[in-house]
């Protein structure tokens, strides 16, 4: 079977506090976007996974870890897979987590009465809190360490998303190690389709301060994108890809931008 794990963007990302278990309490709205990896899975007597596309370092271990854990169970058959990476690793787009969630959801065909589903979800959450979101994979407010999902009605269909790739990489662990949670006033602002024009005044990604010190063009680039008509500009997750949301696609031939990709939502 061929599957297409998709990416996501964070619309606002607040780090509330450091938890005793080493994670952070956060608040963010996660929105799935049509930017995909390609994952082929077949039943096989031997497992010899292969990879192509963008270079991987550690994200491929997610699938292998889950498979090794479940292969000890008598209900999981031998599986082999090929993963073609198109979503950049360490970009904040959640590619590795989406791959893992897609693989986990595939396994449900061998568990028709959901006898083992809670065990799978718990293991996925231990590996990646973003992967826990991708098991749901719809617009949702995410709280706690990423394990509390609240359905959101946000629908960005018809908008245009500009992804910008600055050519640097920042691991999630490193980004979180550098973050310092700040006491914030509780905000009642909830992003939705009717208040997009207010997002830039009410939503912020807490990782942007540190990111702007590493990638100094970030602030002027953000300003330029707003001048060009962007509705909202932010950092994806903990970085390092930027995104801008537009009503219509720009003719940006005469605009100096980093490597980029347009996506119609």
By annotation, the residues acting in catalysis are 8, 130
Give yes or no for a contact between 80 and 48, defined as CB atoms under 8 angstroms apart. yes
Q: Give the pair of three-digit tokens for residue 49.
A: 């996974």
Helices (H), the chain: 61-71, 95-106, 117-127, 129-134, 172-177, 199-202, 208-214, 218-227
Q: Give the pair of three-digit tokens for residue 31.
A: 């929105």
Instruction: Please report how the helices 117-127 and 61-71 are oriented relative to each other, as an axis angle in degrees rounded to 10.
Output: 150
- Outline where DSSP puts E strands in the chain: 2-3, 6-18, 24-36, 38-43, 50-53, 79-85, 140-143, 148-151, 160-165, 232-235, 242-246, 259-264
String of b and e for 234-245 (b: at least 16 CB within 10 Å)?
bbbbbbbbbbbb
Separation between Cα atoms, residue 55 and residue 126, nearest integer Å: 24
């Amino acid at each position: 079977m061929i599957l297409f794990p998709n990416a996501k963007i964070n619309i606002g990302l607040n780090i509330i506090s450091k938890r005793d278990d080493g994670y952070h309490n956060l608040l963010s709205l996660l929105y799935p976007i049509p930017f995909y990896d390609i994952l082929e899975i077949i039943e096989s007597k031997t497992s010899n996974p292969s990879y192509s596309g963008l270079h991987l370092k550690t994200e491929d271990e997610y699938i292998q870890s889950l498979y090794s854990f479940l292969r000890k169970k008598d209900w999981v058959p031998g599986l082999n897979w090929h993963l073609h990476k198109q979503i950049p690793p360490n970009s904040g787009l959640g590619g590795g987590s989406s791959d893992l969630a897609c693989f986990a959801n595939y396994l449900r065909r061998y568990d028709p009465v959901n006898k083992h589903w809670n065990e799978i979800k718990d293991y996925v959450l231990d590996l990646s809190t973003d992967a826990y979101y991708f098991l749901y994979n719809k617009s949702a407010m995410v709280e706690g360490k990423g394990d509390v999902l609240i359905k959101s009605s946000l629908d960005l269909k018809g908008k245009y998303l500009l992804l910008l790739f600055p050519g640097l990489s920042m691991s999630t662990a490193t980004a979180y190690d550098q973050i310092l949670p700040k006491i914030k006033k509780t905000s009642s602002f909830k992003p939705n389709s009717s208040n997009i024009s207010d997002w830039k005044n009410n939503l912020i990604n807490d990782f942007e301060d540190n990111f702007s010190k590493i990638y100094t063009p970030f602030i002027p680039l953000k300003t330029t994108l707003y001048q060009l008509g962007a509705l909202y500009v932010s950092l994806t997750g903990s970085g390092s890809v930027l995104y801008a949301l537009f009503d219509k696609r720009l003719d940006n031939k005469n605009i100096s931008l980093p490597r980029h990709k347009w996506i119609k939502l």
